[in-house]
Amino acid sequence: MRRKVICLVGAAVVAAVVAAVVAYRMFYGPCVASERVVEVAAAEPYAVTMEKIHDAIDNDAAFDFYARRISLDGAVKPGRYTLREGMTVIEVARLLKIGEHRTTRLTINNARTPESLAGRISHQIDIDSLTMLTALRDEELAAELGYDSPESMFSIFLPDTYEVYSDIGAEELVRRMKRESDRFWNDETRRGQLERLGMTPLEAMTLASIVHEETNRVDEMRRIAGVYMNRLRSGMLLQADPTVKYALGDFTIRRILLRHLQVDSPYNTYMHAGLPPSPIAMPDRAAIEAVLDYEHHDYYYFCARAALDGYHEFARTLAEHNRNAAAYHRALERLNIR
């Protein structure tokens, strides 16, 4: 009888040890065989998140049990999570509940309008385009950042690739871009260049956007910037064709005609003196630098060359400009470009 009791006790001890070992391996043993990235969208259903996790780990039952213990349902933080090789069930569950500020790369460039900018952002991070556009049009946010109108906020987006938190919100992204813009313009050299121009960062970005739209030939950007500086300082209308396209909202126009110039918009520089209220595109760095270090000369006019090679003819007088323009228009007529 005594031997039987000893055997039963021994068996129970062995069973308990085995159960402890199994439990330990289930919860503290590795459940991630190889590194996996799991993206959890904002307001994503918990069941959808669990499907992603189950696909990435080896022990679904242990994970679900521990997830219930820590009330993970409803507490998952949105973001981009890296499940590293060797992570345990407990580590994965806690990561999702506590949240981890994972970063992602956001490339901003070549956006002509706030709408296109919102679309480009939404394709890279977890902010839908409507939410982003709403932030870009938010008057209170614009005032908080020191702007008279939401349109001016477009000027704070500098073309570059940024590291941002995966779960960053639309308004916080705008604030982040304002900090990046302030850092760019607070550079000692650029501050001095702005002072010599007599411009604010918004004005410099607006002029750079016009230069950017006028040419993709980097080697003549400084000269074009110089033409516009001459016109601004002499009180002449800028008469920049890209501003008319922006005012019309039609960037497919290949030839600006008299009827196009009648559009009543503050962006129409054939009708309104000075710079438009805000950039008409996101200028690249070359256009920005061209404005800050514009070429000093006595040209007041330019038009595309008759060779249609992307370069321009520059003129000091209206008579000279009219001859250049006539040659250009003849070239368009020969190609039936209307």
| Surface-to-core class of residue 311, CB atoms within 10 Å of its CB (0-12 exposed, 13-18 middle, 19+ buried) | middle
Whether 217 and 274 map to the same domain: the answer is yes
- CA-to-CA dists, residue 77 to 39, 97, 150, 176, 265, angstroms: 10, 6, 31, 21, 45
**Taking CA 139 as the corner, what is the angle to CA 137 and CA 142, rounded to the nearest 5 degrees?**
90
**pLDDT digits over 162-195, tens only?**
988 777 889 989 999 999 999 999 989 999 999 9
Across the range 275-290, mean pLDDT stands at: 95
Across the range 306-314, mean pLDDT stands at: 92
Across the range 96-124, mean pLDDT stands at: 86
pLDDT over 60 (residue 219): yes
Is residue 170 within 8 Å of 134, Cβ to Cβ?
yes
pLDDT recorded at residue 174: 94
pLDDT recorded at residue 83: 83
**pLDDT digits over 135-151, tens only?**
999 999 999 999 999 99
Whether 283 and 239 map to the same domain: the answer is yes
pLDDT recorded at residue 132: 95
With respect to residue 27, please indicate whether it lies within any of the assigned structural domains. yes
| Surface-to-core class of residue 128, CB atoms within 10 Å of its CB (0-12 exposed, 13-18 middle, 19+ buried) | middle
Is residue 289 within 8 Å of 218, Cβ to Cβ?
no
Whether 164 and 203 map to the same domain: the answer is no
pLDDT recorded at residue 11: 43
pTM: 0.71
pLDDT over 90 (residue 204): yes
Whether 55 and 70 map to the same domain: the answer is yes
**pLDDT digits over 225-258, tens only?**
999 999 999 999 999 999 999 999 888 888 888 8
Give the integer Cα–Cα distance in Å for 3 and 241.
102
- 98, 132, 164 — which closes off a domain? 98
pLDDT over 90 (residue 87): no
Residue of 173, 189, 59 lying closest to 117 (CA atoms): 173
With respect to residue 94, please indicate whether it lies within any of the assigned structural domains. yes
pLDDT recorded at residue 259: 92
Within 10 A of 199 (CB to CB), how many other CB atoms are there?
19
Number of domains forming the structure of the chain: 3
Whether 218 and 293 map to the same domain: the answer is yes
With respect to residue 67, please indicate whether it lies within any of the assigned structural domains. yes
With respect to residue 5, please indicate whether it lies within any of the assigned structural domains. no
How many Cα atoms are found within 13 Å in the side-chain-facing hemisphere of 269? Answer: 24
Within 10 A of 55 (CB to CB), how many other CB atoms are there?
10
With respect to residue 338, please indicate whether it lies within any of the assigned structural domains. no
- 133, 159, 185 — which closes off a domain? 185
pLDDT recorded at residue 240: 95
Q: Determine what percent of the chain is predicted with pLDDT higher than 90.
A: 58
Domain range holding 88?
A: 22-98
With respect to residue 278, please indicate whether it lies within any of the assigned structural domains. yes
pLDDT recorded at residue 28: 66
Residue type at 163?
E
More confident: 93 or 158:
158
pLDDT recorded at residue 214: 95
With respect to residue 320, please indicate whether it lies within any of the assigned structural domains. no
pLDDT band at 94 (very low <50, low <70, confident <90, very high): confident
With respect to residue 326, please indicate whether it lies within any of the assigned structural domains. no
Q: Determine what percent of the chain is predicted with pLDDT higher than 70.
A: 90
pLDDT recorded at residue 2: 54
Give the integer Cα–Cα distance in Å for 312 and 20.
81
pLDDT recorded at residue 1: 55
- 124, 156, 185 — which closes off a domain? 185
pLDDT recorded at residue 23: 47
